[in-house]
Amino acid sequence: MHSSPPPPPLTQRYCQALRSQPNCPPEVRLGIAACQWQLGNVAQARAAYQRILALSPTNVDALLGLALLDINRGDVESVSQGLHLLQEAYRANAEHPIVCLVLARYFLLKNRPDKVAVVVVFFGWVYLGVGCVCLGGECVCV
């Protein structure tokens, strides 16, 4: 009995699908970036986010993904670059909830409650003044 080779991993299939449909919307590539990041393949995740931005320079999710990759590196230069990308994402869409949440958390860590209030008030979130932002009983605290 002849056995067929095992199917390729899901990320390979995703890449194959992207190659077969090169004109798909840039947002479709967000999935591969997220998969690569989750698998610990940071360089591939970064490349995928950069490709999205090459196709759609104001894609907020790609800007956010790159910002978080940079911020998570932890060195001063990378954090600075990540904050710059986060500002770009905010300028592109000041109503993006995850961008606003990341900014609010950053301002909480920097002890800038005035900035937290500006970022979160739009969503009806409540800044408790003790390092927590809450909405509907769910809180994010630092």
2 φ, ψ to 5°?
Answer: -90, 125
- SS3 of 74, please? coil
Q: What is the sign, positive or negative, of the torsion defined by CA atoms of 140, 113, 82, 87?
A: positive
Q: Give the integer Cα–Cα distance in Å for 29 and 19.
A: 11
Q: Tokens 């890449």 appear where?
A: 15
Query: pTM score, two decimals?
Result: 0.75
Domains of the chain: 10-93 (1.25.40.10)
Orientation of helix 60-73 relative to helix 97-109, angle to 10°: 30
- Nearest Cα neighbor of 90 from 50, 51, 58, 134 is 58
Residues in the chain: 142
Orientation of helix 60-73 relative to helix 42-55, angle to 10°: 150
- Collect all residues with Cβ–Cβ distance below 8 Å to 71 and sequence separation of at least 6: 78, 79, 82, 83, 86
The per-residue pLDDT string of the chain (142 residues; one tens digit each, 9 = 90 and over) reads 445 444 457 777 877 887 888 788 888 889 889 888 888 889 999 999 999 999 999 999 999 999 999 998 988 899 899 999 999 998 998 888 888 888 878 877 787 767 766 665 555 554 445 455 555 556 666 5
